[in-house]
Amino acid sequence: MLLSENINELAGEIKKAISMDLLDVRKSRAKEGVRYYNHQHDILKQRIFYVDDNKQLHEDTYASNARIVHSFLTELIDQKVQLMLSNPVTYNCDDELLYERLGEYYNSKFQTFLQDLVEEGSQKGYEYVYARTTAADKLAFQLADSLQVLPIFDEDNQLVRILYYHSNMIRKDGKKVWLRHAELYDNEKVWYFIATDDGAYQLDQSKLVNPAPHVIAKLDNEGDELLGRSYGTIPFFRYQNNRREKTDLEPIKSLIDDYDLMDAFLSNNLQDLTDAFYVVKGFDGNIDDLNFNIRAKKRISIPDSNGDLEMKTVEIPVEGRKTKLQLDRENIYKFGFGFDSAQIGDGNITNVVILGRYTLLNMKANKTETRLREALEWMNQMVIDDINRRFNTSYHPEEVSFEFTREMLINKADNAQVAKTEAETNQIIIQTLLAAAPLLPSDEVLKQLCDMYDLDFDDIQAKIDFQDYDTSDGAEA
């Protein structure tokens, strides 16, 4: 029914559609990815139980219960984002005027927006780009939380509308209530709906025009006259983290949970099992008094002549747990396609070794770059359309290209050694060339030297051939 043009039908279906969307399995996974990126792991809900003598289950509130979070997901996502986008994405075009105008759109805020887009998409599996027009009548982009966006398809599985819903707490009649908004977009207009708490949605009467074109502007000094225009397309783009829209958490969640658990219970064991266990035989007194005497007086008395006391210790499998932690860590970086900065190796850290360690991260970045280029193409189409509208031009999106420059660690000493070797090799070639120069045409020798030092052969040859001639015949004027 969200394909209807009838206002009452739309208002009646929005609440139902939102309720069903909140149960979407993909959004549950997206929330999980966001939670782990923000260090809210399952280990924080860890509880310890015991069974009493009556076989009743109770929570042990006195046992050590360390809840240690290891933010692998945060590191892995930030690695990918910074590898790809720590250097700004550059745009290129042959037209100087177009290049200058593009600078109004592809500025530092746009670079920050791209980082946020990849970061959010990695957590949720997908994220939405929303195009809007600012008060300065210029196109801009922002993120639309994919947890609050519902795509609507027709019977041919073609995207025809987008429902964007959000809410905020307000104070009304001295009470706090939820004010809920819903915006329904198609390629020409947008409907605005509003609801309070769990009430039904209705058309927002505070909007001057509803439904309205995508952009509304009021003419200066012209009374209340309004102008409106549409983008000609739905102003939302769905950025996908990968083809199946999997989060970066899903392949490694079980490994991260196991790592958290291993480390937490190692800490619990070290706290709870540092003291010896006392095995007391033939004691029928008060056990609490016995415990007090052991802790405070370091001695006990056993009246029964058959009584006995033994001290028992428990060996904690520290090495086994450390090995399991190391194995989990290796698998997290392996299946999370990340760079493990804790790798030691054999100490021979050349650029070839560094590049090898970046292999998995580069593979993941390659897939992400392909997806990001799709988003850039969509945004660039809208930017070019906006420039053509503002300046009455006829530019084409194909005139603009984008370039990514990745930032990786390098061994500067290794680079210096390579440069030194190349210089020494060139010196040997030059000496050999000069030694054979008398046997070669002078133009060929000059051409070889120019190629070696990346010089313009024609320019150098012209300067060598040019000489000043004294045209006077030596006579005094």
Which burial class, exposed, middle or buried, applies to 159 when counting CB atoms under 10 A from its CB (0-12, 13-18, 19+)? Answer: middle
Domain identity same for 21 and 147: yes
Q: Does 51 fall in a domain? A: no
pLDDT at 281: 66
Give residue 228's pLDDT.
85
Indicate whether 131 pLDDT > 60: yes
Residue 55 forms part of a structural domain: no
pLDDT at 432: 78
Does 177 share its domain with 285?
no
Give the per-residue pLDDT at 477.
40
Q: What confidence tens digit (pLDDT) does each residue in 387-438 have? A: 999 999 999 999 999 999 887 655 555 555 556 666 667 777 777 777 777 7
Same domain? For 173 and 302 the reply is: no
For 64, residues 6+ apart whose C-beta sits below 8 A from its C-beta are 267, 268, 271, 272
Question: What would the mean pLDDT of 232-259 be, rounded to a whole number?
Answer: 95
Q: How far apart are CA 62 and CA 94, in angstroms?
A: 71
Cα–Cα dist 156/146, whole Å = 23
Identify whether residues 193 and 285 lie together within a single domain. Answer: no
Task: Examine residue 230 and state whether it is found in any structural domain, yes or no.
Answer: yes
Mean pLDDT, residues 331-353: 75
Higher pLDDT, 187 or 294: 187
Domain count, the chain: 3
pLDDT of residue 234: 95
pLDDT of residue 413: 56
Q: What is the pLDDT of residue 469?
A: 47
Count CB atoms within 10 A of the CB of residue 372: 21
Do 291 and 216 share a domain, yes or no?
Answer: no
Do 188 and 71 reside in the same domain of the chain? yes
pLDDT of residue 295: 57
The model's pLDDT over 145-179, given as tens digits with 9 standing for 90+, comes to 999 999 999 888 999 999 999 988 888 777 888 89
Is-contact 152 2, C-beta < 8 A?
yes
Task: Indicate whether 237 and 307 sit together in one domain.
Answer: no
In angstroms, rounded to a whole number, what is the distance separating the alpha carbons of residues 391 and 105? Answer: 14
For residue 347, name the pLDDT band (cuts at 50, 70, 90): low
Residue 183 β-bridge partners:
164, 192
96 and 189 co-located in one domain: yes
The answer, yes or no, to whether residue 288 has pLDDT greater than 80, is no
Q: How confident is the model at residue 4 (pLDDT cuts 50, 70, 90)?
A: confident
Judgement on whether residues 373 and 241 belong to the same structural domain of the protein:
yes
Say which residue, 466 or 183, is predicted with more confidence.
Answer: 183
d(CA 364, CA 91): 23
- pLDDT score of 345 more than 60: no
Do 170 and 307 reside in the same domain of the chain?
no
Does residue 330 fall inside a structural domain?
no
Instruction: Evaluate whether 85 touches 116 at the Cβ level (below 8 Å).
Output: no
The answer on 140 and 186 residing in a single domain is yes
What pLDDT sits at residue 208?
85
- Does one domain contain both 295 and 438? no
334 lies in a domain?
Answer: no
* Mean pLDDT, residues 206-232 taken together: 80
Residue 346 has pLDDT above 70, yes or no: no
Residue 182, in any domain of the structure: yes
In tens, the pLDDT along 265-277 reads 888 877 766 555 6
Structural domain for 294, as ranges: 274-313
| 40 or 446, greater pLDDT | 40
Q: Is residue 419 part of a domain?
A: yes
Distances (CA, A) of 255 to 28, 59, 80, 262: 19, 26, 19, 10
Q: What is the mean pLDDT of the chain?
A: 83
Of residues 279 and 444, the one with the higher pLDDT is 444
pLDDT at 29: 95
In a domain, 410, yes or no: no
pLDDT in tens, 36-84: 999 999 999 988 887 876 788 888 777 788 899 999 999 999 999 999 9
Please compute the mean of the pLDDT values over residues 178-195 and round it to a whole number.
Answer: 93
Q: Which of 6-10, 49-53, 54-58, 91-95 bottoms out in mean pLDDT, i.e. has the lowest?
A: 49-53
